[in-house]
Amino acid sequence: MLQEFREFIARGSVVDLAVGVVIGAAFTAIVNSLVNDILMPPLGLIIGGIDLSSFFITLKGAGNYPSLEAAKAAGAVTINYGLFLNAVIRFVIVAFAIFVLVKQVNRLYHAKPAEPAAPPAPPRQEILLTEIRDLLKQSAR
């Protein structure tokens, strides 16, 4: 069993998967920063200076809470639809980035290969030897 496990780990596809997971985690951090630090502030400004991540509905808990953090600190049960909207925006960005990446990779794989160059002409001696061979074959008949 240990030998099979070693063979499994040593496969190229497992290593490729591990690399993909690490790069995916790094890409997720970049997308989160893009959404939270670049896209959401202008979007919040457009909709009246409100941060989408602070949108929530209190299901259980007394009173109105000024922020999601305050509601969580008070132990209120909330539906955090603003955080859900942020997650949807992140997903759309990641999906679009992957779409563009796959499209480019497919374009590279399906690109027409360059026409192979014509083989160079044989040297003069080879042409003469071929002619001599052909003449000898004809005279032998």
Residue 62 has pLDDT above 80, yes or no: no
Helix ranges, 1-123 (H): 2-10, 12-33, 40-46, 68-73, 81-109
Please tell me the distance from the alpha carbon of residue 78 to that of residue 85, in angstroms, as a whole number. 15
| pLDDT at residue 133, as a whole number | 92
Q: Which of 12-16, 54-58, 68-72, 80-84 has the lowest mean pLDDT?
A: 12-16
Where do we find the tokens 């794989």?
109
Per-residue pLDDT of 113-122, as tens digits, reads 677 788 888 8
Per-residue pLDDT of 76-123, as tens digits, reads 888 999 889 888 887 888 788 778 878 888 888 777 667 778 888 889
| pLDDT at residue 97, as a whole number | 77
- Entry pTM: 0.53
